Amino acid sequence: MRNTIVGAVLVFAAYYLGLVIVNVSYLPIPGPLMGLFLLLAMLFVFPQLEVHTARFVTFPLKHMPLLFIPAVLGVSIYWADIQTNALAIAIAIILTTSISLGVTAWFAQYLFNSKSGGDSEVASKKVERK
């Protein structure tokens, strides 16, 4: 129970601190996003807080499909507009998904190579020597 309360305090503190920072500094990003960055930074600095945070966020994550109800309702209300613009929507979805997957793959490969001590050829030569 204590872990859950500490996790709730951490999550809500990061959320509201993000809102305050964005409102005070007039940053052009949403406050909850700033709160997420703060929570991420806090978890990197204090990794022992992960247990508390994970304990708290497990319940909302289990019920995440409830958050999709408004989206499904919106699709049903605007179905005629969606059909009219189906080609543009499909192209936008395919293009943005491809770009985001490509950037994610590149960044993951970059991180993997930096952890393995350089590029993949150097890492494979190290394995061959052993």
- For residue 130, the model assigns a pLDDT of 55
- DSSP string for residues in 74-102: HHHHTHHHHHHTHHHHHHHHHHHHHHHHH
Whether residue 44 is predicted with pLDDT greater than 60 in this model: the reply is yes
Mean pLDDT of all residues in 92-96: 97
Computed over every residue of the chain, the mean pLDDT equals 89
Mean pLDDT of all residues in 71-83: 91
Task: Work out the pLDDT band at 53, boundaries 50, 70, 90.
Answer: very high
16 and 35 in contact (C-beta within 8 Å)?
yes
Quote the distance between the C-alpha of residue 13 and its chain's center. 18
15 and 22 in contact (C-beta within 8 Å)?
no
Whether residue 119 is predicted with pLDDT greater than 60 in this model: the reply is no
State pTM to two decimals: 0.56
Q: How far apart are the first and last CA of the chain?
A: 49
Task: Work out the pLDDT band at 68, boundaries 50, 70, 90.
Answer: confident
Sign of the CA dihedral running 20, 43, 33, 12: negative
Least confident of 34-43, 72-81, 89-98: 72-81
Mean pLDDT of all residues in 90-109: 96
6-38 per-position pLDDT tens digit: 999 999 999 999 999 999 999 999 999 999 999
56 and 13 in contact (C-beta within 8 Å)?
no
Residue type, 28: P
Residue type, 78: Y
